[in-house]
Structure 1
């Protein structure tokens, strides 16, 4: 059996995603309650941004922690810039 793949940043990432999950559940409740579309769209934008930021943090952490150490810090900086477009 293989070891779990965990980083020191994972608890913060999990907390961030749980908050996003709570916001998404609120959006569903807003739609069910017939709230105005503008309100729903604003909340959906916040959820989307939270998930995108969580993904970016995960990718950046992976690049910092898991890539071969033979890569220079300049290579890592460039990879972080590129990862913004994922």
Structure 2
């Protein structure tokens, strides 16, 4: 998360899904280490590429969950607070995140 977003969105309490996200990221770490070992042991390229594809899919799933959490909590709270400047900032952040995600 970018520094500005961490400050703006970091004030909400820890979400219940943090544990699940951290678990997913730990599995991705293991997959990345596994790919390193596959390359070191000169495994078949197709097998390595299959694992890389799985890693990318897993990271995309984490990205979606974090984006959903941002919308559900940070953006929603800004709307509920009624502060127009804060609402504009959160909507702008959300649009920026979405534009990065579709690249």
- TM-score in same-fold range (> 0.5): yes
RMSD: 2.9
User: Are 1:69 and 2:79 an aligned pair?
Assistant: yes
Contact kept in structure 1, 2:32 and 2:55, CA below 8 Å: yes
**Shift in Å, 1:8:** 1.2
Deviations 1:25-71 (A, max 9, x none): 0000000000010000000000011011101111111110111234x
For 2:74 and 2:12, how far apart are their aligned partners in 1?
14
User: Are 1:85 and 2:85 an aligned pair?
Assistant: no
**Shift in Å, 1:6:** 2.0
User: Are 1:37 and 2:54 an aligned pair?
Assistant: no
**Shift in Å, 1:3:** 6.2
Partner of 2:36: 28
How many residue pairs align between the two structures?
A: 78
Distance change (3 Å), C-alpha of 1:63 and 1:19: same
More helix by share: 2
Extract unaligned runs of 5+ from structure 1.
71-78
Extract unaligned runs of 5+ from structure 2.
1-9, 81-93
